[in-house]
């Protein structure tokens, strides 16, 4: 059964068990999906209110673009665990002969690339999500200010969690490839941090 098909209670029980997966990567994707969901909720609760009619087009854009991002983050919950399972399976391959060792080494490398791409994509989705949240600042139903702030907090946590999973995986790659992931990842993280600070600062001014 896919993680996304489980009940919340069953997922939490599995997450808290001694099973190695789901782990931090899947949990990060879930948190990110929650964050984007809160942004689309805030947009939805702004639409149709007479006081906020000027923000209709912006809120419709947030919902239209946010829903696919949220769905991709939900899909990442399973993708990250599947990637981990690939790495685990590769390490269990036989290594008695030189040929087996070569095949195993190549499988580990390929699986590690997949396992790095999974959380990196989660970071990219978090970047898209928080930029949508940034577009809500000053253009939303202020009764939902805390929800906007919690959404930003969720996405920041998701991005940092995914980043940790990128870093632990690139340690098994060659220096050039690892450096490329680190450079691109840090740029994403810096921009996410900036957007988060902007959103959270605006929310706190309303408290």
Q: What is the dihedral of CA 188, 193, 196, 197, to 10 degrees?
A: -150
What's the pLDDT score for residue 72?
97
Asked if residue 5 belongs to a domain, the reply is no
The pair of structure tokens assigned to 137 is 């600042």
Angle between the N-to-C axes of helices 145-170 and 24-46, in degrees from 0 to 180, rounded to the nearest 10: 150
CA gap 108, 111 in Å, rounded: 5
Check residue 20 and give its pLDDT: 87
CB proximity list for 180: less than 8 A, separation 6 or greater: none
Range of 119's domain?
22-205
Integer Rg of the chain from CA: 20
Residue 4, in any domain of the structure: no
Residue 1 is assigned to a structural domain of this protein: no
The pair of structure tokens assigned to 46 is: 């702004």
Specify the number of domains making up the chain. 1
Residue 2 lies in a domain: no
CATH code at position 79: 1.20.120.680
Element at 112 (helix H, strand E): helix 98-136
Per-residue DSSP letter, 21: -
Residue 32 lies inside a defined structural domain of this protein: yes
Domain contains 15 = no
- pLDDT per residue over 123-135, tens digit each? 999 999 999 999 9
- Nearest CA-CA partner of 121 in 51, 190, 28, 45: 28
pLDDT digits (tens, 9 = 90+) for 55-86: 999 999 999 999 999 999 999 999 998 998 99
Tens of each residue's pLDDT in the chain, 207 residues: 899 999 999 999 999 999 888 899 999 999 999 999 999 999 999 998 999 999 999 999 999 999 999 999 999 999 998 998 999 999 998 888 888 888 898 899 989 999 999 999 999 999 999 999 999 999 999 999 999 999 999 999 999 999 999 999 998 888 999 999 999 999 999 999 999 999 999 999 998
Q: Is residue 3 part of a domain?
A: no
Residue 29's CB: how many other CB atoms inside 10 A? 33
Predicted TM-score (pTM) of the model is 0.94
State both tokens at 34. 């929650």
Q: Is residue 149 part of a domain?
A: yes
């Amino acid at each position: 059964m896919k993680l996304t098909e489980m009940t919340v209670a069953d997922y939490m029980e599995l997450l808290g068990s001694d099973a190695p997966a789901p782990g931090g990567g899947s949990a990060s994707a879930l948190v990110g999906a929650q964050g984007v969901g809160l942004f689309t909720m805030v947009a939805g609760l702004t639409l149709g209110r007479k006081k906020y009619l000027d923000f209709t087009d912006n809120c419709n854009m947030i919902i239209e673009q946010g829903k696919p991002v949220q769905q991709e983050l939900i899909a990442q919950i399973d993708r990250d665990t599947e990637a981990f399972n690939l790495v685990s399976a590769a390490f269990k391959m036989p290594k008695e002969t030189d040929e087996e060792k070569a095949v195993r080494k190549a499988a580990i490398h390929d699986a590690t690339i997949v396992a790095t791409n999974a959380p990196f994509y989660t970071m990219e989705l978090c970047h898209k999500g928080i930029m949508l949240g940034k577009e809500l600042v000053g253009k939303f139903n202020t009764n939902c200010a805390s929800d906007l702030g919690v959404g930003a907090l969720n996405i920041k946590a998701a991005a940092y969690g995914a980043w940790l999973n990128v870093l632990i995986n690139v340690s098994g790659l060659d220096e050039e490839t690892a450096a490329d992931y680190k450079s691109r990842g840090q740029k994403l993280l810096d921009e996410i941090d900036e957007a988060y600070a902007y959103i959270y600062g605006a929310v706190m001014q309303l408290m």
